[in-house]
Structure 1
Amino acid sequence: MRDLAAGFGYLLQGQRWVAAHRRRFGYALVPGLIALVLYLAAIVAVAWFVGDVVAWATPFADHWASPWQGVLRGFLDVLLLVLCLFLAVITFTALTLALGQPFYEALAGHVDRSLSPGDAPPGPGLSTWRMIKDGIALVLRAVVWGVVLFAAGFLPVVGQTVVPVVGIGVTGFFLVQELTTVAMQRRGIALRDQLTLLRSRRMLVWGFGIPLAAAFLVPFVAIVLMPGAVAGATLLTREALHEPTKPRT
């Protein structure tokens, strides 16, 4: 429970930190705005065609008696939309970080320097390509999880109770992994080691990631929270690595 509360606390601290430096880091909202426009267009397209896709995928139900055809296809419509929202939340973060890599690297570096003057990690010089490559690897993992959860959604009872809870936990974990990538790469930590570190502090990760994932479902909220989420993820990284998370006195 302590780690859950600490994770949520770092999420709030990150937002407060950016609010206190909003003049300097206001430009960090721009990548999220660009990504949002792209995702809104994609989500509208998915919502428009989801019925046709489900009907095409279930030809065996064409001659089912009412109301069973509608029940099956309506359930699959909702399940497919939920899967798309799951993937949208994960990939939105990856795309925004890739678009705003120089902005977010500068933000994470400033957070580090504000806590450890003269002793902050210098950063290995992050490349947009490495950010994109790691982002793709994470998205592929998320897709695998998404397909598994989508299939599990067909199971009676489990699909309506356990699967949504697991889905929230998975989404929160992947969000934190993506957001901590900036601070982790500044320290030269490879992707595999990043995952190992975060898995060792799952409660801390969930305390940060689950409420953020819920907030990211609201489009414009995601834009506003993104810079603070990067700042908070830098604090969480420092906690996981046993580095100071408060200014030295």
Structure 2
Amino acid sequence: MRDFLRGVRLFGRGATIVARSPRLLLIGAVPAVLTALLLLGGMVALVVWVDDLAALVTPFADDWAEGLRTLVRVAAGIVLVGLWLVLSMIGFSALTLAIGGPFYEHIAEKVEDDLGGPPAPVQDLSWARMLWLGIRDGIVLVLRSLLFTVPLLVAGFVPVIGQTVVPVLLALVTAWFLALELVAVSFYRVGMDLGQRRAVLRGRRGLALGLGLPASLLCAIPLAAIVVMPVAFVGGVLVAHEAMRGQANDSAMRSHGAASS
């Protein structure tokens, strides 16, 4: 619980840092705006062609009675739109961070300089390399998150449990995967991949959830993500810095203990 509250405080500290530097807010908001426009364009295109897409995914209904065929394809269209909305919510942060790699690397550098420097030697990454890492890891995290969110969405139709337990579990799952995305740039900068990132945060799961939960809940408010993302990213830099420092200190203590024995 202490680690969770620490994560919430670091998210709040990120808000304070951004509030004191409107330039960071502007830099961090640009990729969020671009992502929102892309996803909105995709949503509009889906709505325009939803009838054709629904027919494409339900070829088995071609020879059915007109009323039943229409019912099945309306249901298929609703599912397609719902799936797009879920994927948009899950993938928004991953796509934003992938598009805005150079923007967020600049923010990370500024925040880490104020913290006394990065927790490990920084590697020089090109924009293309950052984009590739962001897209690759973002896809992996979205697919992994779907393994949890899809069953939970289905379980949401179960009476009582679907209205009590499921929303809590869904919020925690979303928070965990969002936290993994928010700290990504800080880990990329020191040469640590997704597997290492997960291993470090697994040891500080409460800290990660304390960052990801308020960020994910606020991002659910329409258009709020444009402001929330820069704040959450700065909070992610702070969380990554603390988690990596803590891991380095633990490793040093274990090495010292082994040498002493």
Name the structure 2 match of 1:247.
none
In the superposition, the TM-score normalised over structure 1's length comes to: 0.79
Name the structure 2 match of 1:160.
163
Name the structure 2 match of 1:13.
13
1:145 is the counterpart of 2:148: yes
- Paired residue type of 1:218: I
* Contact 1:87/1:142 (<8 A) preserved: no
In the superposition, the TM-score normalised over structure 2's length comes to: 0.75
Measure how far apart 1:107 and its partner are.
0.8
Name the structure 1 match of 2:123.
124
Q: How do 1:186-205 and structure 2 match up within 5 A? A: 186-205=189-208
Structure 2 Cα separation of the partners of residues 125 and 150 of structure 1: 41
Structure 2 Cα separation of the partners of residues 221 and 191 of structure 1: 27
Structure 1 Cα separation of the partners of residues 228 and 39 of structure 2: 17
SS in 2 for 1:219: coil
- Paired residue type of 1:209: G
Higher-Rg member (1/2): 2
Structure 1 Cα separation of the partners of residues 121 and 205 of structure 2: 27
Structure 1 Cα separation of the partners of residues 232 and 24 of structure 2: 16
Name the structure 2 match of 1:88.
88
Q: Which runs of 5+ in 2 are unaligned?
A: 247-261
CA offset digits 1:27-47 (Å, max 9, x no partner): 321111011112233445667
Instruction: Percent identity, please.
Output: 38
* Contact 1:153/1:159 (<8 A) preserved: yes
Name the structure 2 match of 1:111.
111
CA offset digits 1:77-125 (Å, max 9, x no partner): 6x887665443222110111111101101111111111114x6544223
Name the structure 2 match of 1:136.
139
Between 1:26-35 and 1:198-207, the stretch displaced more is: 198-207
1:230 is the counterpart of 2:233: yes
Structure with bigger RCO (C-alpha 8 Å, 6+ apart): 1
Structure 2 Cα separation of the partners of residues 32 and 201 of structure 1: 27
Name the structure 1 match of 2:253.
none
